[in-house]
Amino acid sequence: MERNSKKYILTDNMDWEELGGGVSRKMLGYDNQIMMVLVMFEKGALGSPHSHFHTQATYCVSGKFEFEIDGVKQIVKGGDGVYIEPNLLHSAVCLEEGMLIDTFSPVREDFLSGTGPSYFGDKD
C-alpha cells in the first residue's frame, strides 16, 4: 500500500500522541521508504529494550539519554546522533527531559496502524 504524509507538517497545530510512561510523539513525515518522528520524553521515561527490522537513526534535539545498543551503553545529549542497525536490541532512559527525532527505514507501519509501540515503560 502506498503511504505518504502531507508535504508540510506544521507541529504548532498538532496534538502530542501520548504513548504512556512519560513519552509522547508527533509524526513529522513519511512514505513507504522512510519515517521521521519527534519524540518527547519526561525525565525518567524509558524506552524498554526492543528490536525491529527497521534501520533507525536518531538525533537528540535536547536533554540527556542513556542509550544501550547491543549491550553497549552511551550517554547522548543535545546535538548527538545514534545509529541502530536492524534487529539490534536497544533501549533508552531519559536522564534529563528532552526530545529526540527518530528516523526509520522503511516506514513503521505499526506506528501508522496504531498497533505499536508497546516498549515505553513507567517513569522511575
pLDDT at 124: 37
Domain count, the chain: 1
Domain presence at residue 8? no
Q: What is the sign of the dihedral through the CA atoms of 49, 51, 54 and 57?
A: positive
pLDDT at 29: 95
pLDDT at 123: 38
Give the mean model confidence (pLDDT) for residues 55-67.
Answer: 98
Domain presence at residue 102? yes
Domain presence at residue 121? no
Domain presence at residue 124? no
pLDDT in tens, 77-106: 999 999 999 999 999 999 999 999 999 999
Specify the CATH number for the domain of residue 23.
2.60.120.10
Domain presence at residue 11? no
- What is the 3-class SS of 54-115, one letter each residue? CEEEEEEEEEEEEEEECCEEEEEECCCEEEECCCCCEEEEEEEEEEEEEEEECCCHHHHHCC
pLDDT-above-90 percentage for the chain: 83
Domain presence at residue 116? no
Q: What 3-state DSSP class applies to 15?
A: coil
Which residues form the domain of 36?
18-111
